[in-house]
Structure 1
Amino acid sequence: MDVLRLDTRRADFDAQLTALLDRAPETNADTVRIVDDIIANIRARGDAALLEYTNRFDRRDLTDAAALEVPRAQWQAAWESLPADLRSALEAAATRIRAYAEHQKIAPFEYADELGNRLGQQVTPLDRVGLYVPGGKAAYPSSVLMNAIPARVAGVEQIIMVVPAPGGELNPAVLGAAHLAGVDRIFTVGGAQAVAALAYGTHTIPSVDKIVGPGNAFVAAAKRAVFGRVGIDSIAGPSEIVVVCDGHTDPDWVAMDLFSQAEHGEDSEAILITPDAAFIERVAEAMERRVTTLPRETMIRTAIANRGALILTRDLDEALRVSNHIAPEHLELSIDNPRAWLPKVRHAGAIFLGRHAPEAFGDYCAGPNHVLPTARAARFSNPLGVYEFQKRSSLIDCTPEGAKPLAAIAGCIADAEGLQAHAQSARDRG
């Protein structure tokens, strides 16, 4: 299998690693121009533009925007049509995701300062959230659960889901997951036009306060463009996995863990970091042997050739330093006593501890969210969670006596900033 070999002992290691990490595609000018035109058209013409784009891009022939909404009875029928084992699996995953999300709620607080004033934080949920679900080549009921359940746990009043339906076809598992997760309304629209409709509203689709969920380059560009009008979760990039291994894990397991992300797309990133040179060869052999058993062999081979690497380090300490630089979406610590090494991990979206916690568990049913920062964004951002659907408001409650010392402090600082109205407003309370 064509896979890059890197060695931290080589003088060109840093340059090679930088080149590997810089391969993530950027949104190009043509995409931005197209998206800007779509957004402007949706804002100007609403449902009429939405129908035109839906008919053009999704090969449909709709004349009434009301037909974009999926009747609730269709969700129920889709859920009941699913095989019993899939329904049970989705229910089990939803239960675990909900249980984890319940632990994430941000708590309000209040306290009294030394002057008798009360300060604190009020927490409220967002009113309405838009959930974008990809359609077309793949169906992701797991993404419906991961996005909708935390919003529901947060107390969001209304969840609006948009999903493209090429040729009018909808995946029953996606509809079933929406039924299970508590989505309120579903519209069969996709692409930048769906993002624009959620951000600005049309007669048929209500505007939302925040848009979450992954999509293609046009969806990503549209989310960038509407940010500020609405909130967004993140700009999702290609999938990533780093496996840090001490050489004692079954190489077949490691190979398949790398493939679990490579099969998402040709630009996915899959990297093994280990201080064991012989283990690298065993994993390389397992990769070549096991890839032939997978339906997405061609895609996996392309991803590994484009953005895969087997990295040899001096020791595990250095392996974790390299991993921290990469700041991967998913990090597997496939080593003895992984908790002892956990304090050395500074940057990763999700951390999988030990040899029996593969990334695939996180994608579906472990409980923590699978919507994670990519493209080194784990250096400064977080997984999707309940907190993404809650707002914090500061509380300031001053007594007449407690206001006097603050008036003097605020007035002095306001004078220094040249803001006399601020200063007088403060001193009026003194």
Structure 2
Amino acid sequence: MVARHLKKPAPPTANGAAPAFDVTAIVEGVINDVRAEGDAAVRRYSEKFDKWSPESFKLSDKEIQDIIATVPAQVLEDIRTVQNNVRTFAEAQKASLGEFELEIQPGVFLGQKNVPIQNVGCYIPGGRYPLLASAHMTILTAKVAGVPNVIGCTPPIAGEIPSSTVAAMHFAGADAIYLLGGTQAIAAMALGTETIPKVDFIAGPGNAFVANAKAKLYGQIGIDLFAGPTEVLVVADEHASPFTCAVDLLSQAEHGPDTPAVLITTSEKVATETIAHCERILTSTDMSTAALAATSWRDYGEVIVVDSLDEAFALADEFASEHVQILTQNPREALDKMRNYGALFLGEKTCVSYGDKCIGTNHVLPTKKSARYTGGLCVQKYLKTVTYQEVKDPKASGELGRLCGRAARAERFEGHARSGDLRAQQFLGDKYKWIYEQV
């Protein structure tokens, strides 16, 4: 396969200057301070980073209702519609997860249960925009899974309460809502403070500080994914509309200044016209996020021409992109040909933005090639698949005891072997010197 780049990402040195701060060092400092000082550190960092220091970060029931009352009726109706889509899909996911009990041999029963995590924290970002859709994806999905206690954190935006986000969090079923953002929110949920309860698991997207904090605290708590910048990849054949390709690539490029937006196509005409449309959209329309999208497109955008769709699918699998949009005559072919993606969007009637905002599948998805080994956030992430065992038949227990004794001694685990010996003696009458020496 000879892949021809008609547009390459900018060289690494051209992708902007080095950050003026050390994310890792800042995150470590915040986590250590929250661990040592609790609420005092949380408040100090909220004042520093968000200029936000209310009497209580937790919203009361009355405050929540007062905030919801300020949200336009159409927005509230849309939130309920989208959440119904998300709930319907999540409930179908849960129904697909079977529990079972198997009599593996006479009198020996093995089983599997799906037990929800007890305490979950959901982070709903809000640095540039109020990302209320993340409330549907994290909080609502956790409640469908059966999580009894879900708290949500979202930051104020420029000192203002994100009313629509609070409404979405409330309707999604959050048991408590905190106006708190950034590393301090992640640290508070993971470690617990005087007023913020410790959780067992944290879900939700966020900026580099949030992602770094989740990664550092992983192990003390569970997390959904190791997240990176949003990614989009479009696979297109000669029948695809270059204008559609351009619009859909730029729809994701507006997420941030470091979003990889990639087109892989079998048509040089589609490739060149897509590039031209991108430039026109970014320079001659009133797209409010054009500057942000233009930075991503300039520094991380790629357009690649290949000779066949099989080559396009193979190359797309190497990228293992978060979002993969298939704009071909037979888009369902990708279901058989591709393996590595966070989510597939099939055909011109479908777009990544539907997945982000309203269609019902979860938009918290793997990035940075982690789609090679994991899927995105779903009901399963909030459930622990646990097993249980029960031996009811005495003879079966004795036979297992003999087997356990032999297997354990092969590994030189004498203590394990003796647990098996005891059952073999009790239920089959075997004689073991070590038992008679002890009783």
Q: Same fold (TM over 0.5)?
A: yes
Matches of 1:58 and 1:302, distance apart in 2? 25
1:111 to 88, 95, 102: 102
2:288 to 290, 295, 306: 295
Matches of 1:207 and 1:274, distance apart in 2? 48
Q: What is the Cα deviation at residue 348 of structure 1?
A: 0.6
Matches of 1:341 and 1:47, distance apart in 2? 50
What is the letter of the counterpart of residue 308 of structure 2?
D
Q: Which has the larger radius of gyration?
A: 2
Q: What is the Cα deviation at residue 104 of structure 1?
A: 1.2
Contact 2:117 2:384 (8 Å CA) reproduced: yes
Flag as ranges the 4+ runs of structure 1 deviating above 6 A: 23-29
- 1:216-266 CA-to-partner distances (Å, cap 9, x unmatched) read 222112111211111111121111111111121222111110001100011
2:381 to 388, 393, 402: 388
The answer to whether 1:356 aligns with 2:349 is: yes
The answer to whether 1:261 aligns with 2:221 is: no
Q: Which moved more, 1:279-288 or 1:319-328?
A: 279-288
Matches of 1:280 and 1:9, distance apart in 2? 12
The answer to whether 1:311 aligns with 2:304 is: yes
2:129 corresponds to: 138
Matches of 1:341 and 1:199, distance apart in 2? 39
1:242 to 218, 224, 233: 233
Which runs of structure 2 are paired with 1:99-248 in the superposition (5 Å)? 99-105=88-94, 106-165=97-156, 168-248=159-239
1:243 match: secondary structure: strand
The answer to whether 1:68 aligns with 2:62 is: no
Q: 1:417 to 1:397 in 2, by over 3 A?
A: same
Q: 1:412 to 1:112 in 2, by over 3 A?
A: same
Contact 2:225 2:376 (8 Å CA) reproduced: no
Q: 1:167 to 1:333 in 2, by over 3 A?
A: closer
Contact 2:151 2:177 (8 Å CA) reproduced: yes
Matches of 1:110 and 1:157, distance apart in 2? 25
The answer to whether 1:47 aligns with 2:36 is: no
Q: 1:317 to 1:239 in 2, by over 3 A?
A: same
The answer to whether 1:347 aligns with 2:336 is: no
Unaligned runs of 5+ in 2: 425-439
Q: What is the Cα deviation at residue 323 of structure 1?
A: 0.3
1:375 corresponds to: 368
Matches of 2:407 and 2:17, distance apart in 1? 47
1:347 match: secondary structure: coil
Matches of 2:20 and 2:162, distance apart in 1? 31
2:48 to 56, 63, 76: 56
Contact 1:60 1:167 (8 Å CA) reproduced: no
What is the letter of the counterpart of residue 375 of structure 2?
N
- 1:298-357 CA-to-partner distances (Å, cap 9, x unmatched) read 111110111111110010000000000000101111111222342111111100111111
Contact 1:132 1:161 (8 Å CA) reproduced: yes
Q: 1:262 to 1:9 in 2, by over 3 A?
A: closer
Q: 1:380 to 1:365 in 2, by over 3 A?
A: same
Q: 1:77 to 1:61 in 2, by over 3 A?
A: closer
Between the two proteins, what is the percent identity of the paired residues? 37
Contact 1:111 1:120 (8 Å CA) reproduced: yes
1:371 match: secondary structure: coil
Matches of 1:413 and 1:48, distance apart in 2? 55
**Number of aligned residue pairs:** 415
1:3 corresponds to: none
What is the letter of the counterpart of residue 236 of structure 1?
A
Matches of 1:38 and 1:163, distance apart in 2? 17
The answer to whether 1:418 aligns with 2:412 is: yes
- What is the RMSD computed on CA atoms of the aligned residues? 2.3
TM-score (norm 1): 0.91
2:318 corresponds to: 325
Q: Which moved more, 1:281-290 or 1:74-83?
A: 74-83
The answer to whether 1:403 aligns with 2:397 is: yes
1:81 match: secondary structure: coil
What is the letter of the counterpart of residue 2 of structure 2?
T
